[in-house]
Amino acid sequence: MMVAFLVAPEGVEQVELTDPWQAVRDAGGTPRLVSTASGRVQAFHHLDKADTFEVDQTVKDARVDEYDGLVLPGGVANPDLLRLDKRAVAFVKGFFEAGKPVAAICHAPWTLVEAVVVRGRTLTSFPSVRTDITNAGGVWVDEQVKICEGGPNALITSRKPDDLKAFDEAFLEEFAKASGSKHKGAA
């Protein structure tokens, strides 16, 4: 299972990148860091700088057909920067058009709103994103993890870092279904 993790050059919430990344590895999958720029991305612990991570592929060179699923980590700045990048938004939209599963946590649904893929879908997020989701035609729920299969693909969302265990388990199961592999259990 090959999984794209799409992040901006800075602003990703580190634990929302590293925890799902490790869950993919523990399940026998291959995570790849895709960004809008090459080099390294700067992660954050809330508002404080944390570690940097090497980019595997730029979004301009990435193709949806290379991947079984997409993970969108949060952080306040990360999805805000991604939604300003046309290639990043097109990459996200491409997963929906291809019927491939997408997982988004915390503020990451902002990028989904920009890709115009939430109308008629039920999802969760950090509470401050609720109005954006409902204004875009989505249904917002306050749940630890929400799997919405009522569309072209499975959409897995969670609210915050405290939900990571449930988020990891849910998206791994959906990604395994989509890729035809067996979920060995992770997280």
Cα–Cα nearest to 111, from 140, 145, 88, 134: 88
CA distance 168 to 158: 10
Burial of residue 16 (CB within 10 Å: 0-12, 13-18, 19+) is: buried
Q: Residue 58 forms beta bridges with which residues? A: 35
Active site residue 183: no
38: left (phi over 0), alpha (psi -120 to 50) or beta: beta
Q: Which are the catalytic amino acids? A: 107
